[in-house]
Amino acid sequence: MAAQADWLERDLYAVMGVAEDADAKSIGRAYRKLARELHPDTHPDDPDAAERFKDVTAAYDVLGDPTKRAEYDEFRRAVAGARRSDADGRTWTWADGGNFAGEDEQAWTTFDGSTWTTFEAGGFDDLLSRVMGRSSGGSPRTWRGDDLEAVLDLSFEDAVGGLTTELTLNGPHGSQSFKVRVPPGVNDGQRIRLPGKGGPGGNGGLPGDLYAVVRVAAHPVFGRRGLDLTTEALIGWPEAVLGTEIEVPTLGGSPVRVRVPAGTPHGRTLRVRGRGVRTDKGRGDLLVSIRLTVPDHISEEQRQAVQAVADAFRVGS
């Protein structure tokens, strides 16, 4: 990969309008939004928008690629103390060994961006060696490893109940497996931190962290609303008018009997206490949403009965 010289003077995160710790989904979302707003087809006569579109596309080319982003982040950390040393802003200077404390530092490295616009892997390594003190002329400096992310797929039941499972991370040197303790009630999209399981540090520096990004599968019967579980119960119109008692399933337990009061309308929610998600912070409830059903076909006798009920309601109205 070729590291770009303008990395010294341009914050690609600022170009994209995202935080430095933004996840891949947030960066992709930001790019799609900006691309729609700035696309030349939308602003055919606006050169500023066209230039901004190019900048955003170039920034996403780096930040949208995990490998390029990791090198960009390392580069930014390496030259964090660099400073412009000429009027045109294209020449940058930093102290070899990463020491920027004093103006009388004797060992300095200068990078002329006007003539050296890109540098390939060898040049990039040499630049990092100078800045980060890996050369013989500077004192070694340690740096923290990169934080990594991996998706952890869970069933609905496991997300509610919690478990200890394994997460496999595929990298350039093969696969690694890590044990992950998933707390009860974990949410879809939640990140679980595994300290010290990320990328290796440099020169004996601390490793980064590994984040397991939870993806929870849908359940055919239950949903979630915070600590509450949700489900639906179907009843007929006569039961809604007269009231009834129904059997409702629970997650991981026996069904419960629930009384439906007379005159219950379609969409009313009945609450079963304590049958929701249990965590250290408490336990939610089971919310049962009532849905009224209407038969597709009825017999003549049933039709006459319904007609009689309808007439009776008209008489009483």
Domain locations along the chain: 3-131, 148-216, 223-293
What's the pLDDT score for residue 218? 96
What's the pLDDT score for residue 118? 41
Do the domains 223-293 and 148-216 match in fold?
A: yes
| Backbone angle region of 17, left / alpha / beta, with phi > 0 → left and psi within -120 to 50 → alpha | left
Range ranked top by mean pLDDT from 7-11, 195-199, 261-265: 261-265
What's the pLDDT score for residue 233? 97
Q: How confident is the model at residue 230 (pLDDT cuts 50, 70, 90)?
A: very high
What's the pLDDT score for residue 284? 96
Average pLDDT over residues 230-259: 95
Average pLDDT over residues 155-164: 96
Average pLDDT over residues 230-254: 95
H or E element in which residue 247 lies: strand 244-250
CA distance 289 to 275: 15
What's the pLDDT score for residue 313? 81
Q: How confident is the model at residue 110 (pLDDT cuts 50, 70, 90)?
A: very low
Question: Span 148-216: which CATH code?
Answer: 2.60.260.20
Average pLDDT over residues 18-45: 86
DSSP annotation of 113 reads T
Alpha helices by DSSP H, 142-190: 156-161
What is the value of pTM for the model shown? 0.55
Q: Above 70 in pLDDT, residue 93? A: no
Residues across the chain: 317
CA distance 229 to 274: 10
**Distance between start and end Cα atoms, the chain:** 80
Give SS3 for 112. strand
Which CATH superfamily groups domain 3-131? DnaJ domain (1.10.287.110)
Q: How confident is the model at residue 9 (pLDDT cuts 50, 70, 90)?
A: low
More confident position, 52 or 138: 52
The CATH number, out of the four listed (2.130.10.10, 2.60.260.20, 3.40.47.10, 2.40.160.20), of the domain defined by the range 223-293? 2.60.260.20
What's the pLDDT score for residue 102? 39
The strand order across the sheet containing 210-216 reads 148-154, 210-216, 191-194
| Beta strand extents in 161-262 (DSSP E only) | 163-171, 174-182, 191-194, 210-216, 223-225, 228-236, 244-250, 253-260
Share of residues in the chain with pLDDT > 90 (%): 44
Q: Are 113 and 6 in contact (CB under 8 A)?
A: yes
Q: Above 60 in pLDDT, residue 219? A: yes
Range in 151-160, 172-181, 234-243 the model is least confident about: 172-181
CA distance 268 to 290: 5
**What is the residue-averaged pLDDT of the chain?**
80
Give Cβ neighbours of residue 233 (< 8 Å, ≥ 6 apart). 246, 248, 258, 260, 270, 288, 289, 290, 291
